[in-house]
Amino acid sequence: MSSSSRVVEIEVVVADGGARKAAEGEKQPDPVVNVYSAAAYGDLERLRRFVELDGGGASLAVPDGNGYHALQWAALNNYPHVALYIIEHGGDVNAEDNSQQTALHWAAVRGATATADVLLENGARLEAADVNGYRVCNRFSFCSEFVLPFFDILQCCWI
């Protein structure tokens, strides 16, 4: 090699983001391991088992290790039946995470209108503001699909 040659490193990035795929017949690990993942995946039967059956009596009022509530995960992924179950079994509809966002904030960002309806019917506060001062109606405005179904309710945000 001459003294002017350079070593070039090339990083190979897999198109699927590097996610490992199971070989045929290999079992994938179960992503549903607690109330938070059950809520995130919309798995009501497993959620019910964590809360009622397995003797664990898992709480739906306590946030996970990152400060997020099961109700927020259900709201983010638009699982209204799971959100209702969580509310009926001790989840606080206005519980805040470390950023002071509620499940309604999360539903608004994702445009999860069905879950937002459940949250609002159960006392979710529109005026709740996060640490950046964004109220739920500010989050709604980022998602046009969200504004139209709730236009009558949201008018209070712009008056």
Q: Find the CATH number of the domain harbouring 39.
A: 1.25.40.20
150 is a domain residue: yes
Can you give the pLDDT at residue 17?
Answer: 45
105 is a domain residue: yes
56 is a domain residue: yes
As a whole number of angstroms, the distance between CA 109 and CA 105 comes to: 6
Low-confidence ranges of the chain (pLDDT < 50): 10-19, 158-159
As a whole number of angstroms, the distance between CA 48 and CA 57 comes to: 10
16 is a domain residue: no
As a whole number of angstroms, the distance between CA 48 and CA 58 comes to: 10
114 is a domain residue: yes
143 is a domain residue: yes
130 is a domain residue: yes
Q: What is the pLDDT of residues 53-79, one digit of tens each?
A: 756 688 999 999 999 999 999 999 999
Question: Residue 60 belongs to what domain range?
Answer: 35-158
Domain count, the chain: 1
